[in-house]
């Protein structure tokens, strides 16, 4: 089967490229909606014009068939998909491209690639969909290594087994969201894990980063759906038993979840699946201000009602994403079940919303419409929109965290202030005109606190966008840590969050993690620079 080629710098595939006229029309509409006045639209540097570093490594004959060093393979695996990554790719900068991309078709080939990397003194970077926003897949591995091989799991994308009785499926790590969902649908099942990057990200990447899906409560993170996992390390296979639960010491699954490629390559996992929900109820509730809404969501989070959707969006973000008119905060509220009607849960949740001054649209059962569906469509279109914003000269990035309820108001105030100040200061002198937009929503809620997610849109400082990105990242991450929150709730650590992660984690734990890495990866070839420095 011919592989669809990915866009080597942005979201999606090459065959989805919009025409110049389409881009111009979209840009004009977006600029008017966001209140930015832009100059022209910048065009991406064509791949043929891009500069890539020399290839320093050739594969051995027995691996030549699965190793690629053409410009498209190297460039498209050079960066993740943060704003800074997209911008550098757009401008034809691939300074950290890997020397080779290996695409193993079976575990035996993967083992051979790892053995060869170790012999050749090359770093090895596991790669799922390359949607990391924290520098997780970038071949910035340091001078200790002769070269770098990126190991793309894309050829391992099958659902291998389905256990309908225990409702679990064995799935290969390289399966992208739509690919695994379409195979599960043949059995009437779904994994129901929908991160915003769903279209391009993979099961292995989700596990390696402890990804968070679209749903707000209960099984929000991929590890909640994990029954067992199998990985190939440089010192053998790490595979756990399929168990619904186990108290046998530190969990081998939990240790691989969030390992970000430093311990080995996840090749497959048994995950919990379920039939598609048939009972749904959803609506959008308006609140007079974000904090009014937050008080309501706090109460909802502690009722045991477990709404599947409970995204509180501040007025500015509601206006940005067309979920509202900007005059009120909007709570996208939904319940679903495969088994029972959910109307009574919705009724009780709305009673609570009413007691906090909320007002709502008529509740819809089944298919989504209205503000909640406008918001969902905008959510799924967002990655494509970001590519357009780069061409328009508009800075756009998101920052996420989690904190307990009693500290949330102070965190919110401080992060919004830090982000706004940094956005204004860092965009001084930009050609694009317009006020920065700093907004917040909750992506997930827990009984003891929310996961707030901040979006910054601002005029980009021409030619200095990466410095601007660093200034904002520094200001916001410092504010997050100073308030005692986590540097990441679901975007992972990678290379970009290292300074704050190093500050956040307990030192004895860091020592234990380094030692664990040394046991399974004594040469330290697995994704060096991510999470810990090799011993
Ligand atoms: C527009 C956009 C929206 C996003 N939305 C969300 C969201 O809603 N929720 C969320 O959690 N994240 C989100 N992310 C971040 C990103 O999609 C997640 O971190 C995702 O889990 C990465 O999956 P991937 O397959 O693309 O992994 P990659 O980007 O390829 O890799 C990420 C990390 O995992 C390691 N890795 C990948 N595969 C394996 C493997 N098989 N074995 C061992 N290590 C491996 C890599 O080495 C790297 O360190 C978003 C990113 C973008 C750009």
The 10s digit of each residue's pLDDT in 261-318 is 999 999 999 999 999 999 999 999 999 999 999 999 999 999 999 999 999 999 999 9
Percent pLDDT > 70 in the chain is 97
pLDDT at 374: 60
DSSP of 462-513, one letter per residue?
TT-HHHHHHHHHHHHHHHHHHTT--S-SSS--TTTTHHHHHHHS-HHHHHHH
Which of 130, 132, 175, 384, when mutated, tests ligand 1's pocket best, judged by the most ligand atoms within 8 Å of its CB? 132
User: In angstroms, what is the span from residue 207 Cα to ligand 1's centroid?
Assistant: 8
Query: Closest ligand 1 atom, CA of 443?
Result: 8
Instruction: Calculate mean pLDDT across residues 210-232.
Output: 95
Ligand 1, atom nearest to 80 Cα: 29
Task: Give distance in angstroms: CA of 132 to centre of ligand 1.
Answer: 4
Residues with CB under 6 Å of ligand 1 are: 80-81, 125-133, 136-137, 153, 173, 195-197, 201-202, 204-206, 208-209, 211-212, 260-261, 265-266, 383, 490-492, 494, 527, 530
Q: How many residues does the chain have?
A: 535
pLDDT of 371 over the 60 cut: no
> Which residues touch 119 (CB under 8 Å, ≥6 apart)?
none
* Token pair listed for 268: 């497959």
Q: Quick one: average pLDDT of 49-54?
A: 95
How many angstroms separate the CA atoms of 344 and 363, rounded? 12
pTM for the whole thing?
0.97
Q: Is the pLDDT of residue 335 over 80?
A: yes
Ligand 1 centre distance from Cα of residue 527 (Å): 14
Rg of the Cα atoms in the chain = 23
pLDDT cut 90: percent of the chain above it: 90
**Cα 417 to Cα 202: distance, rounded to the nearest angstrom:** 35
Ligand 1 atom at minimal distance to the Cα of residue 203 = 25
**Ligand 1 atom 37, closest CA:** 205
Nearest to 364 by CA among 341, 340, 334, 337: 334
Q: Convert the pLDDT of each residue in 471-487 to its tens digit.
A: 999 999 999 999 999 99
Query: For residues 150 and 73, what is the distance between their CA atoms, to the nearest angstrom?
Result: 10
Going from the Cα of 206 to the center of ligand 1, the distance in angstroms, rounded, reads 6
Strands 100-102, 67-68: pairing kind:
antiparallel
Q: Which residues on neighbouring strands pair with residue 13, listed in sequence order? A: 6
Atom of ligand 1 at shortest distance to CA of 382?
A: 1
Count of CB atoms within 10 A of residue 62's CB? 10
Closest by Cα among 294, 284, 266 to 527: 266
Q: How far apart are CA 261 and CA 240, in angstroms?
A: 17
Average pLDDT over every residue of 447-452: 98
Q: Which residues contact 470 (CB under 8 A, 6 or more apart)?
A: none
The whole-angstrom separation of Cα 325 and Cα 314 is 11
Interval between CA 102 and ligand 1 midpoint (Å): 18
**CA separation (Å) from 502 to 496, 497, 510, 531?**
11, 8, 8, 8
């Amino acid at each position: 089967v011919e592989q669809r080629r990915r866009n080597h710098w942005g979201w999606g595939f090459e065959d989805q490229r919009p025409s110049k006229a389409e881009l111009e029309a979209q840009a004009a509409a977006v600029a008017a909606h966001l209140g930015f006045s832009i100059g022209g639209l910048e065009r991406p540097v064509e791949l043929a014009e891009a500069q890539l570093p020399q290839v320093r490594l050739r594969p051995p004959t027995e691996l030549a068939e699965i190793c690629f060093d053409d410009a498209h393979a190297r460039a498209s695996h050079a960066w993740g998909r943060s704003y800074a990554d997209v911008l550098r790719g757009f401008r034809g900068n691939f300074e950290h491209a890997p020397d080779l991309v290996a695409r193993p078709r079976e575990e035996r080939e993967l083992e051979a690639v790892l053995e060869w990397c170790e012999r050749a003194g090359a770093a090895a970077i596991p790669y799922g969909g390359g949607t990391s926003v924290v520098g997780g897949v970038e071949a910035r591995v340091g001078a200790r290594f002769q070269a770098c091989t990126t190991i793309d799991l894309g050829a391992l994308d099958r659902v291998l087994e389905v256990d309908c009785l225990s409702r679990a499926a064995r799935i290969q790590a390289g399966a992208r969201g739509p690919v695994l969902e379409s195979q599960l649908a043949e059995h009437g099942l779904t994994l129901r894990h929908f991160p915003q990057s769903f279209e391009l990200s993979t099961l292995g990447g989700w596990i390696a980063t402890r990804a968070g899906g679209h749903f707000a409560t209960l099984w929000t993170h991929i590890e909640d759906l994990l029954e067992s996992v199998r990985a190939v390390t440089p010192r053998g296979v790490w595979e756990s038993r399929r168990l619904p639960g186990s108290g046998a010491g530190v969990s081998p699954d939990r240790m691989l979840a969030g390992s970000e490629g430093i311990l080995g390559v996840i090749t497959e996992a048994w995950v919990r699946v379920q039939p598609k929900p048939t009972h749904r109820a959803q609506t959008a509730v308006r609140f007079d201000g974000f904090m009014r809404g937050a008080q309501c969501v706090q109460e909802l989070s502690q009722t045991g009602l477990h709404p599947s959707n409970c995204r509180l969006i501040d007025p500015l973000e509601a206006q940005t994403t067309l979920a509202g008119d900007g005059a009120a905060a909007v709570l996208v509220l939904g319940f679903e079940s495969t088994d029972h009607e959910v109307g009574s849960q919705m009724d009780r949740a709305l009673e609570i919303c009413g007691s906090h001054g909320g007002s709502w649209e008529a509740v819809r059962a089944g298919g989504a419409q209205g503000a909640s569906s406008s918001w969902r469509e905008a959510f799924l279109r967002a990655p494509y929109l970001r590519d357009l914003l780069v061409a328009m000269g508009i800075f756009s990035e998101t920052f996420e965290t989690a904190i307990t309820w009693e500290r949330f108001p102070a965190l919110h105030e401080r992060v919004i202030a830090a982000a706004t100040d940094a956005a204004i200061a860092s965009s001084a002198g930009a050609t694009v005109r317009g006020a920065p937009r700093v907004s917040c929503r909750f992506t997930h809620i827990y009984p003891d606190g929310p996961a707030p997610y901040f979006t910054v849109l601002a005029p980009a400082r021409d030619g200095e966008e990466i410095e601007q990105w660093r200034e904002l990242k520094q200001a916001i991450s410092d504010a997050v840590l100073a308030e005692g929150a986590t540097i990441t709730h679901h975007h992972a650590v990678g290379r970009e969050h290292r300074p704050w992660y190093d500050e956040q984690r307990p030192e004895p734990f860091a020592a234990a993690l380094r030692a664990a890495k040394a046991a399974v990866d004594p040469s330290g070839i697995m994704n060096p620079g991510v999470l810990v420095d090799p011993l």
